[in-house]
Amino acid sequence: MRNGNCETPVMRRAYHEVLMSVGTVVILLLTLTAFDVRVRDQVSHVLKAPPRTEIASLGHQLSDLTSVIVEAARNQSLGHAPLLIFAFLSAVLMLFMLRT
């Protein structure tokens, strides 16, 4: 325990990995929002809804948003398949490099 801090290096590494995972999802959503009008419309619809309406239909809105995001990701991945394959393989390679 240094300076009254009881975090271990393993816990700090776990926090970093969780933050990296959340950051990756956020970057993916921001990229899809920037490039696809349907995702942008759904996100703006969810964010602009009044709180009472949002709570009442949260499940339906999340379902709509999820389906639009999945469809947009599928369309974008079909249009940019070589880049997607390269990005996936580079992520796998980086994962193996960080693990060793």
Per residue in 33-88, pLDDT tens?
888 788 788 778 777 767 666 566 777 777 887 888 788 877 777 777 787 788 88
pLDDT of residue 86: 83
Map tokens 């619809």 to a residue.
45
pLDDT of residue 2: 52
pLDDT of residue 96: 83
| DSSP conformational letter for 37 | H
Is residue 1 very low, low, confident or very high in pLDDT (cuts 50, 70, 90)?
A: very low
- Helix, strand, coil percentages in the chain from 3-state DSSP, rounded to 5: 85, 0, 10
Question: What is the C-alpha separation between 100 and 86, in angstroms, rounded?
Answer: 21
Is residue 6 very low, low, confident or very high in pLDDT (cuts 50, 70, 90)?
A: low
Among 72, 86, 12, 9, which Cα is nearest to 40's? 72
Is residue 92 very low, low, confident or very high in pLDDT (cuts 50, 70, 90)?
A: confident
